[in-house]
Amino acid sequence: MEFTESYKQTGPCCFSPNSRFIAVAVDYRLVIRDTLSFKVVQLFSCLDKISYIEWAVDSEYILCGLYKRPMIQAWSLAQPEWTCKIDEGPAGIAYARWSPDSRHILTTSDFQLRLTVWSLVNTACVHVQWPKHGSKGVSFTQDGKFAAICTRRDCKDYINLLSCHSWEIMGVFAVDTLDLADIEWSPDDSAIVIWDSPLEYKVLIYSPDGRCLFKYQAYESGLGVKSVSWSPCGQFLAVGSYDQMLRVLNHLTWKTFAEFTHLSTVRGPCFAALFKEVDEPLQLDMSELCLSDDFIQNKNEDASEGHFGVRYEVMELPITLPFQKPPADKPNPKQGIGLMSWSNDSQYICTRNDSMPTILWIWDIRHLEIAAILVQKDPIRAAAWDPTCARLVLCTGSSHLYMWTPSGAYCVNIPLPQFTITDLKWNSDGSCLLLKDKESFCCAAVPVLPESSEYSSDE
C-alpha cells in the first residue's frame, strides 16, 4: 500500500460521491483537495468552526454545518463565488442534509420543532411540523423520488411521505410504535422498515401506502433492537439486538432464516479462521546496513523504546474470547450489536458485540456460518467494506490498519510518525482509503489483492 503524507484537519473529512475530491474541515476553513494530486483546488472560509460536512449527490455542492452559531453554509465547486447561508434564527439548527436532487437542503430545528426544505433554485421553503428526530428519522428512496419523514404529535408516531419534486405531502399514516427509533427504505423502494426504541423490541415492515406487512418481535421483557441494516441486494434485513444476537430476515416472507450468536467461548467444529493480533518486535535486516545511518538509528530507537510491529496469528480451537460484563446499575449498557455492516455483494456481514469490543465477527450469509473472527488488542473503532469487492478494513486507534479478505487477514503498519487511526472511509470507487487521526489525516492507495495471499504483518 502507498500512503500520502499527513494533512491537517480539525473536524470531518469525506470524499465526494464522484471520487474526484476530498473535503476537509480545518477550523473555520473548508479545504477541497484533488484525490489524485492532493493539491488544494478550492478554499472556502466559513463564519465559524465547521462541525459537519456533507456533499451533494452530484458532487457540485457541499454544505457545512456551523452548529455553534447555529447556521448552515453551502458552497459550489463550479461557481466559487456562489454561496448560500441558512439561518433559522431562534429556532436553531440541529442537523442538515441534502435531498437526492442536490438542489434542496433539509434542516431540522432545535427541539424538533420543524423540518424545513430549502430550495437553492427559487429560495422557496416548505415546513414539516414536529419531526421525531434531529439527525435520524428521514429516509429517501433509491430513485430519489420520495422522502419518508417521521413525525410525532399527540403522543403518537407518524410517517409523512413527501414528493421530492414538489415537496407536497403524498400521504400520512400512523405506525404501531411506542417511541420510534429510526426508519429506512428498502433498496428496491418497495417497503419501509421501522424499529422501536431499545425499551420495546419491535421491528415493523410497512408498504408505502401505509399497510403493515409484518411485525417482528424476537423476545419480550428486555432491551430490544440496537441496529438494523438492509443488505445492498435488498433480499435480507439484519437486526442486531441487545441480547448479543444477529438475526437476518428474508424479504419474501419477512421470517427469520438465520440467527447468529456471539459466544464468549468458541469451540469446534468450526470452519472459521480465527486471527489474533500479536506483537512482533521490529527487526533490523542485514540488507538494510547499506542504508543511511539515520535510518538505522531510527530503527534502533524504535526497538529500544519498545515499539513493535504486529501480525495476525491463526489460533486453534477452543478459545475463550475477552468479554466485559456491563454493570447492572448504569444506564446505556455496553452490550449488544453496536456495529454491523454488509459487504457490497451481500455475501458477508461483519458485527461487533459491544460486550466484546475487541472482537470482529464476519458471517457468511451464503453458507449461514461464521467465516472469520478477528481478535484485536484494542477496541475496534470502525470497520468498512470495500465498495467494489469483499475486502474489509478496520482500525482500533493504533498505528496499524487491519484488513480481511476471504483469502486471509493482514496487518499494515502506517509509515507516519505518531499517527494513530481513529476512523476510516472508502472512496466510492474503492481505489483510495481515508485514514483519520485526531488532528490529521492521510490517504492510502489500495492495490487489487490476488485471489490467494499469505498472511503477512506488513505491506
339-369 pLDDT, tens per residue? 999 999 999 999 999 999 999 999 999 999 9
Q: Tell me whether residue 28 is in a domain.
A: yes
* Number of domains into which the chain is organized: 1
Which amino acid type is present at position 64? C
| For residues 267-281, average pLDDT | 87
pLDDT for 289: 43
Write out the three cell numbers for 368: 449461514
Q: Tell me whether residue 154 is in a domain.
A: no
User: Among residues of the chain, what percentage have pLDDT more than 70?
Assistant: 92
Give the pLDDT confidence of 416-426 residue by residue, as tens digits.
999 999 999 99
Query: What DSSP character marks residue 296?
Result: H
pLDDT for 280: 83
CATH number (domain holding residue 19): 2.40.10.480
Q: What 3-state class would DSSP assign to 204? A: strand
Q: Tell me whether residue 20 is in a domain.
A: yes
Q: Which domain holds residue 52?
A: 8-87
For residue 298, pLDDT over 60 is answered with: no
For residue 453, pLDDT over 80 is answered with: no
For residue 459, pLDDT over 80 is answered with: no
pTM: predicted TM-score of the whole model, two decimal places? 0.90
| For residues 291-311, average pLDDT | 51
For residue 269, pLDDT over 50 is answered with: yes
Pairing status of strand 212-216 against strand 225-230: unpaired
| For residues 308-332, average pLDDT | 86
For residue 234, pLDDT over 80 is answered with: yes
Write out the three cell numbers for 332: 446505556
Q: Tell me whether residue 350 is in a domain.
A: no
Which amino acid type is present at position 52? Y
Q: Tell me whether residue 25 is in a domain.
A: yes
Euclidean distance between CA atoms 423 and 436, whole angstroms: 5
Give the lowest-confidence range in 74-78, 120-124, 256-260, 328-332. Answer: 328-332
Q: Tell me whether residue 375 is in a domain.
A: no
pLDDT band at 307 (very low <50, low <70, confident <90, very high): low
Q: What 3-state class would DSSP assign to 181? A: strand
Euclidean distance between CA atoms 453 and 459, whole angstroms: 12
Q: Tell me whether residue 68 is in a domain.
A: yes
148 class by beta-carbon count within 10 Å (0-12 exposed, 13-18 middle, 19+ buried): buried
416 class by beta-carbon count within 10 Å (0-12 exposed, 13-18 middle, 19+ buried): middle
Q: Tell me whether residue 367 is in a domain.
A: no
Quote the mean pLDDT of the chain. Answer: 90
Euclidean distance between CA atoms 30 and 13, whole angstroms: 10
pLDDT for 20: 96
